[in-house]
């Protein structure tokens, strides 16, 4: 129609110029290693595509947390595809919904590994969901990239843990409280399940044995607990130098709103949490937590070129109001670490990729440089951020070097 009429020399020239770009994929394909060579274990890989699985909760209670991870992994995969994919193959995602239900996670993991035969899975969020899929992943020799900071005490040749394990998150934070805030007495508060309990156990040992401090209270509240008045009064009675908190989910919002209403603000009480990222602050409201601290390896406000580019790309794809929390960033690392390992191994075979993983470095990570330890966890920096009223963090401390992951700490 109008298009034909408007063809002129300029258009023709532009058309000619695009030909090399159109040819580019075909040309790289010529250099692509043969499928039979890079895939000896019957994974779903052909000459053009490699299939990976994505297994998070898009529905149910956990969707609140896992949505960020889903978005970050999709962004990373899209960017990798734009750069030409992995071993010349474009990545295709098979997305499954764990629906916040652990047996569903296990069932979907079985589908992804046995039926779809994906080359890698990016997924899970809670420890419960990871524990549910772990036996299936190991039996079928698949590969899982797990993004959440978690309690440690686990290591599998089939899992790469891209978040921090407990010692990385806890020890630096406690040292910082002792040194900068002169904290001697601590009140430990958590939701009642495996992650807070294990983490607090490590914290208590470190406080008592290393810092020679005192734990004046340690308490756990059922998941979904909404009334924290009594607890807040107890902290007023015990007057700890620092409150160390790992409350999660809807309880988190109740806890901080009620703290503020009871007059417990940052000018009167030091509080450091392990469970509040930019995502949680959306629900809590920055002004309700102003001045409190959070220990994470990543904050959206990190000022380095990698992160500026990453946040910009994330907002371009998911809207200007989107925020990036610690786990979202860790999820973003997954596909990139997998790409690097596959290229190092020169193969999609899970055993070869897993063996190639230790020592893999990522210089383009938004959090800064990271590398994979032989124990399949990441070396990363620990950081402490202070909550600003606008829902962002001001980074007030950063560990000097990378901290070695230590999922099985001795003496704790």
Indicate the residue among 281 and 345 with the shorter CB distance to another protein. 281
161: CB partners within 8 A, 6+ apart: 146, 150, 154, 376, 377, 378, 405, 407
Indicate the residue among 143 and 276 with the shorter CB distance to another protein. 276
289: CB partners within 8 A, 6+ apart: 256, 260, 276, 281, 387
Indicate the residue among 80 and 282 with the shorter CB distance to another protein. 282
Q: What is the DSSP letter of 45?
A: B
Phi, psi of 333 (to 5 degrees): -70, -30
Nearest distance from C-beta of residue 228 to another protein, angstroms: 9
Place of tokens 């569903």: 104
The Cβ of residue 107 has, within 10 Å, a number of other Cβ atoms equal to 16
The residues facing 159 across adjacent strands are: 144
List of residues contacting another protein (CB under 8 A) = 58-59, 61, 63-64, 67, 192, 219-222, 224-227, 229-231, 233-234, 236-238, 250, 252-254, 257-258, 260-264, 279-280, 282-285, 287-288
Nearest distance from C-beta of residue 343 to another protein, angstroms: 34
Q: Kindly provide the residue ranges of all beta strands, DSSP E only, lying in 277-332, ordered along the sequence.
A: 293-296
Indicate the residue among 161 and 221 with the shorter CB distance to another protein. 221
* Gap between the Cα atoms of 357 and 352, Å rounded: 9
Nearest distance from C-beta of residue 230 to another protein, angstroms: 4
Q: Considering only CA atoms, which of 209, 122, 211 is closest in space to residue 174?
A: 211
Indicate the residue among 232 and 370 with the shorter CB distance to another protein. 232
Dig out the tokens for 174 from the structure. 């406690």
Nearest distance from C-beta of residue 110 to another protein, angstroms: 24
Dig out the tokens for 312 from the structure. 């910009």
378 touches 371 (CB < 8 A): yes
Indicate the residue among 228 and 293 with the shorter CB distance to another protein. 228
DSSP result, 349-367? -HHHHHHH-TT-EETT-TT
**DSSP-based three-state secondary structure for 159:** strand
Dig out the tokens for 212 from the structure. 């020679």
Rounded to a whole number, what is the largest CA-CA distance in the chain? 83
Nearest distance from C-beta of residue 262 to another protein, angstroms: 5
Nearest distance from C-beta of residue 200 to another protein, angstroms: 12
Nearest distance from C-beta of residue 254 to another protein, angstroms: 5
Indicate the residue among 110 and 197 with the shorter CB distance to another protein. 197
Nearest distance from C-beta of residue 183 to another protein, angstroms: 18
Nearest distance from C-beta of residue 68 to another protein, angstroms: 8
Indicate the residue among 32 and 64 with the shorter CB distance to another protein. 64
Indicate the residue among 109 and 323 with the shorter CB distance to another protein. 323
CA 111 to each of CA 53, 115, 140, 282: distance values in angstroms, whole numbers, following the listed order: 10, 5, 11, 34
């Amino acid at each position: 129609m109008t298009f034909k009429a408007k063809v002129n020399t300029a258009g023709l020239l532009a058309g000619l110029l695009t030909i090399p770009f159109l040819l580019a994929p075909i040309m790289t394909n010529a250099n692509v290693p043969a499928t039979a060579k890079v895939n000896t274990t019957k994974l779903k890989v052909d000459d053009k595509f490699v299939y990976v699985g994505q297994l998070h909760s898009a529905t149910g209670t956990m969707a609140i947390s896992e949505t960020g991870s889903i978005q970050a992994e999709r962004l990373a995969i899209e960017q990798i595809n734009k750069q030409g994919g992995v071993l010349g193959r474009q990545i295709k995602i098979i997305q499954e919904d764990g629906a916040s239900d652990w047996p569903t996670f296990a069932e979907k993991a079985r589908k992804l590994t046995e039926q779809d035969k994906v080359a890698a899975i990016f997924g899970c969020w809670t420890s419960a969901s990871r524990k549910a899929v772990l036996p299936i992943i190991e039996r079928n020799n698949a590969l899982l990239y797990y993004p959440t900071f978690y309690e440690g005490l686990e290591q599998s040749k089939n899992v790469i843990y891209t978040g921090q394990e407990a010692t990385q998150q806890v020890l630096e934070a406690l040292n910082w409280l002792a040194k900068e805030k002169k904290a001697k007495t601590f009140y430990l508060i958590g939701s009642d399940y495996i992650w807070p309990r294990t983490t607090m156990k490590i914290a208590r040992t470190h406080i008592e044995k290393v810092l020679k401090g005192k734990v004046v209270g340690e308490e756990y509240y059922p998941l979904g607990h909404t009334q924290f008045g009594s607890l807040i009064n107890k902290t007023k009675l015990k007057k700890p130098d620092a409150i160390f908190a790992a409350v999660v989910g809807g309880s988190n919002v109740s806890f901080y709103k009620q703290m503020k209403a009871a007059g417990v603000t940052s000018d009167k009480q030091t509080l450091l949490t392990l469970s509040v990222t930019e995502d949680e602050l959306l629900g809590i409201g920055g002004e309700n937590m102003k001045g409190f601290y959070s220990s994470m390896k990543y904050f959206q406000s990190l000022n380095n070129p990698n992160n500026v580019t990453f946040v910009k790309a994330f907002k371009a794809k998911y809207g200007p109001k989107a925020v990036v929390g610690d786990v979202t960033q860790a999820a973003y690392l997954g596909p990139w670490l997998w790409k690097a390992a596959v290229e190092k191994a020169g193969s999609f075979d899970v055993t070869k990729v897993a063996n190639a993983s230790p020592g893999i470095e990522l210089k383009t990570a938004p959090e800064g440089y990271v590398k994979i330890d032989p124990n399949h966890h990441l070396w990363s920096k620990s950081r402490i951020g202070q909550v600003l009223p606008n829902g962002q963090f001001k980074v007030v401390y950063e560990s000097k070097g990378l901290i070695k992951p230590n999922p099985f700490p001795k003496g704790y």
